[in-house]
Amino acid sequence: MTDFADDYEDDRFASAGLRLTVDLAALTENWKDMARRSGKARAAAVVKADAYGTGIEDAGEALYLAGARDFFVATVDEGVTLRLYAPEARIFVLAGIWPGTERRFFENDLVPVISSEEQLAFWMAVLADYGDYPCALHVDTGFNRLGLAMEDAIALADDVSRPASFSPVLVMSHLACGDDHASPMNKQQLESFRRVSDAYEGIDSSLAASAGIFLGSDYHFDMTRPGISLYGGEAVNGMANPMRAVVTAEARVIQVRTVKSGESVSYGRAMKLTRDSRLAIVSAGYADGYMRSQSSGGVPLRQVVPQGGHGFVAGRKVPVAGRITMDLTIFDITDLPEGAVSAGDYVELFGKNIAVDDAARAAGTIGYEMLTSMGLRHERQYVAEED
């Protein structure tokens, strides 16, 4: 029997049907850019949702080595993982602390973000048993998602009966309309948060995530919390995106086929060809986060946004043809020279040639969802390419 291990080394990335390339140099440069834009404020790094789909281990370590010392994760599991790669960092857990998770917080030096009266009551009980331990307070200034009511948070700051062991190291809030710089909601929340920050004098304050950083120094306070901008996504509507692309998603061409004019493509005959066409069938579908709503037809979104998604191959953008299916997408490559695309080639789904937010708009969503929806079937490669 042939021993393939002796003469063949399997390159998983080179042979993968779906590939994600994560440019760690672009990631860290984006963080440094946001740190500069944060002025006197310290820039944290938000690495929740597996670092927006890029991999919390590699992305977290790269950001830590670049100088980030404050991180935000969504769950205690993410915090435990990140601690291995950011040993001296302060790691805030946005979901807060719940019964049964105390030991993991303490053993991994994680900081809970307290966001409700129920969590606050539980945290006070924990402190009674364990003693002094830092936390952060999340205060609602108008978002109406998470956070202590503003007046309750201010009253807590002045409550002389609160335990001495209750020692928040950060008070924070979140902007509802930071991506819309014309929204009056931004100034309303800013004024509300100033009241909270003043009540907690001497304790660090944080209001601005990526979008808020671009609103200017009034919103920066002591710490900013860039997230989507680190990964190359747009933070502000209607503004040219200054961030470097970080993630490139590609899918392998399984087959190139020629189809006659008048024939239809994919489920539901959603696309009828008006010319003889060449089609490239690639190994990505909605099970991989390449959303069905990007289909060229046969989906409700096309009634609102006429144009569907595009791929990039052989130096050109090519449109999706027909409906995207669970594991496969069809691209129309008729306008490319014959022979320009062959089975085994790769089509870029988004990356340096198709911005992730452009792909998201074709799907009726946002770059955040595109990045975090990339499935487990993608083989990742990490590079550190410098311009």
105's CB contacts (< 8 A; 6+ apart) are: 76, 79, 93, 97, 111, 112, 133
User: Which entry of 219, 267, 317, 346 is annotated as an active-site residue?
Assistant: 267
On the 0-12 / 13-18 / 19+ scale of CB atoms within 10 A, 249 is buried
User: Which entry of 48, 133, 231, 286 is annotated as an active-site residue?
Assistant: 48
Task: Report the alpha-carbon distance of residue 255 to residue 89 in Å, rounded.
Answer: 48
Count of Cβ atoms closer than 10 Å to residue 109 Cβ: 15
Domains in the chain: ranges and CATH: 38-231 (3.20.20.10), 247-383 (2.40.37.10)
What pLDDT is attached to residue 11? 84
Q: Where are the beta strands (DSSP E) in 7-132?
A: 18-23, 42-43, 45-46, 70-73, 90-93, 110-114
For the segment 215-270, what is each residue's pLDDT rounded down to a tens digit?
Answer: 999 999 999 999 999 999 999 999 999 999 999 999 999 999 999 999 999 999 98
To the query of whether residue 133 is one of the catalytic residues in this protein, the response is: no
Mean pLDDT in order along the chain per 10 residues (387 residues): 48 92 98 98 98 97 98 98 98 96 96 96 91 95 96 91 86 98 97 97 97 98 98 96 97 98 95 97 97 93 87 98 97 97 98 97 95 91 78
Residue with tokens 């590939």: 19
For the segment 40-95, what is each residue's pLDDT rounded down to a tens digit?
Answer: 999 999 999 999 999 999 999 999 999 999 999 999 999 999 999 999 999 999 99
To the query of whether residue 8 is one of the catalytic residues in this protein, the response is: no
Global pTM reads: 0.93
